[in-house]
Structure 1
Amino acid sequence: MNTHGITVLKPGLETTVQELPGRIGYLEQGFPVSGPFDKWSFRQANLLAGNPRDSASLECQFLGPSLRFDCDVVIAVTGADMRPKLDGQPVPMWQSLPVAAGQVLELGAAYTGARGYVAVSGGIATPAVLGSRAVFHMARVGGQALVKDQVLPLGPQPLGAPDLLMVPEAGRPSFSTDKTWQIEALAGPNDDWLDSASVEMFFAADWSVQAKSNRTGIRLTGPEFSFAGRALSKGSDHGQDPSNIIDHGYPLGAVNLAGQTPIILVNDSPSTGGFINPFTVASAAFWKLAQAKPGDVLRFRQIDRDEAGRLRAALETVTSAGVTVRV
């Protein structure tokens, strides 16, 4: 038995190692940023486990894993409610949990939300690839999703008795109970390729999350768009469809319009392509995209760059060590 690791008994559904800030500096070579989809829940899990808030930890999608701990550790489970159990007994989320060598953590299907996070004291010590331990599963960059009997190495355990902490309700992300999410977004960079009525329609309509959504893109179903004159009478180098444009860079969070299908480009998305991006989701709203399930409804609220900056600063504050209290 590895005395400094975690043995995967059941892998769950595409459970991956993630780390912040992700894989920075390689977009021009086609490598996405990756990293945790819900940074809020991820960072709080790390703080509760006694780690620096950006340490490598596990992201679990829709159905969580079963893990055996091969040494004494402190763990924390946050994000989607996957009804965690330790040796078959329910344990609370959003607080530090001491675990003895040999104990087994089981996570089930997500009851609320879509993605859960498991942080372990010492952090997960898989090899860094291109500067990050974050896994881009589709291309096997940084590793792949967990598999049965895999052993995940851990970093050194902290000395002394651990601080046992919890995150009060007021400091946790609030998951939608009515399957409707308000998502903050900005107009641009290509909103002028739509007519003004379609820009207004985007922010007024209900958009349903498609089942074919993942960490590359959140596909939406909703009303049809109509286009501005520049999209209908353009040079042949821009492509035939009104939503085509000459290849250009895609911002993270872009609402990429492929024909009549909006696709929100998220953590594992491509960095360039030939479709317009009429809108961009604010980075502070990504945690809500991460927790939205297929069939949930997104309603977009238009904001400007100043408000997007304020929302991001507020999220940085709430994910600092100041939101935890002793158990």
Structure 2
Amino acid sequence: MIDVVVPGLETSVQDFPGRIGFWNQGFPPSGPFDSWSFRLANLLVGNPAGAAGLECQYVGPTLKFTQPAVIAVTGANMAPTLDGIPVPLWQSVAVTAGQTLKTGPAKSGTRAYIAIAGGIDTVPWLGSRSTFHKAGVGGLAGSALKKGSQIPVAYAAGTPGRSVKPECRPEFSSNKQWQIEVVPGPDDEWIDEAGQARFLGSDWKLSAKSDRTGFRLDGPQWTFTAKAYDKLPENGSEPSNIIDHGYPLGAINLAGQTPIILVSDGPSMGGFINPYTVPSAAFWKLGQSRPGDVYRFKAVSVDEAQALRRTLDALCRESSLL
């Protein structure tokens, strides 16, 4: 067991790729926002890339180890220490029984990941240990870590001293501006040419009204094609309304004039159009941004999005480690 001394800000158990195959029943995949950093953390400690670990956002936890372990901290720099001694990021480290790992506010990036050799051994729910907060399932009793709770770990020896090659790590934007790839569709034909050009050519600021369900964006007004107005009444009165239909993960859901990127814990369907979709290979950028950061969107084809995912997956392998 690992004792939770300080829980951090909504620190949760996640695994990769998450809870797959149950979205039609209302359960999204969940899983880590930045799967790149998450998978590398697991590989560092000798786990399968998708083993359950901790996702820490904005402010990390303080954890006391009751037995020896090998850990790795990746992603955002939360200045981790073991009994006050700095812990190197992107490297596997040995922990002795009784030592305390402390993490603080993120100095760069937003989400850090903690992997423990053997993986977190909570009870799977619908095939995954990932926490889906709003339904209270997965993780530790379906919620974020709490002070005084204990995290079960399946013991494994692990190998300390391994590190991720610098060129195989994600780089977090220092100027708070991100280029986010998007694939047109499924409802891009509802937005006129001027509206699409405005979307791709404008700055969009991430709102504080954002969470693992949706990332709300502030920016210019949208304009629509005749299709958005010349429609049957059951489609709804707003130009962005449509008869309820399925949403892809990463959909940029247009609620009135407000675009919301549907992320890891997002809904599976609803009555708004989705002019663009953020591909899975760009999710790590979303996970490492924070309110006030600026997005500029770049249109890519489905083939290009799939190539980006293959490139990302290739980086999440043993060959990226030293």
TM-score range, shorter chain: over 0.9
The answer for the alignment partner of 1:155 in structure 2 is 154
- Contact 1:284–1:315 (CA under 8 A) maintained in structure 2: yes
Distance 2:176 2:273 in 1: 28
* Runs of at least 5 residues in structure 2 that lack an aligned partner in the other structure: none
Out of 135, 138, 156, which is 1:139 matched to? Answer: 135
Matched, 1:38 2:37: no
Matched, 1:130 2:129: no
The answer for the alignment partner of 1:323 in structure 2 is 320
Q: How does 1:190-229 map to 2 (within 5 A)?
A: 190-229=187-226
Amino acid at match of 1:250: Y
Q: How does 1:218-297 map to 2 (within 5 A)?
A: 218-297=215-294
Cα deviation, 1:190-226, whole Å, max 9, x if unaligned, reads 0111111111111111100000111111110000001
Matched, 1:98 2:94: yes
Aligned residues: 319
Distance 1:168 1:295 in 2: 31
Shift of 1:163: 5.2
Give the match's secondary structure for 1:274. Answer: strand
- Contact 1:255–1:281 (CA under 8 A) maintained in structure 2: yes
Distance 2:128 2:303 in 1: 30
Give the match's secondary structure for 1:9. Answer: strand
Distance 1:81 1:156 in 2: 26
Distance 2:252 2:155 in 1: 41
Instruction: Return structure 1 stretches of 4+ with deviation > 2 angstroms.
Output: 161-164
RMSD across aligned positions (CA): 0.9
Distance 2:161 2:82 in 1: 17
Cα deviation, 1:207-258, whole Å, max 9, x if unaligned, reads 0000011111111000000111010121111011111100000000000000
- Contact 2:65–2:98 (CA under 8 A) maintained in structure 1: yes
Shift of 1:282: 1.3
Q: How does 1:111-122 map to 2 (within 5 A)?
A: 111-122=107-118
Give the match's secondary structure for 2:234. Answer: helix
Shift of 1:162: 2.2
The answer for the alignment partner of 1:68 in structure 2 is 64
Amino acid at match of 2:219: G
- Contact 2:92–2:159 (CA under 8 A) maintained in structure 1: no
Percentage identity across paired residues of the two chains: 56
Out of 285, 302, 305, which is 2:302 matched to? Answer: 305
- Contact 1:256–1:277 (CA under 8 A) maintained in structure 2: yes
Q: 1:111 to 1:163 in 2, by over 3 A?
A: closer
Shift of 1:141: 1.2
What is the TM-score of this pair, normalised by structure 1? 0.96
Give the match's secondary structure for 1:43. Answer: helix
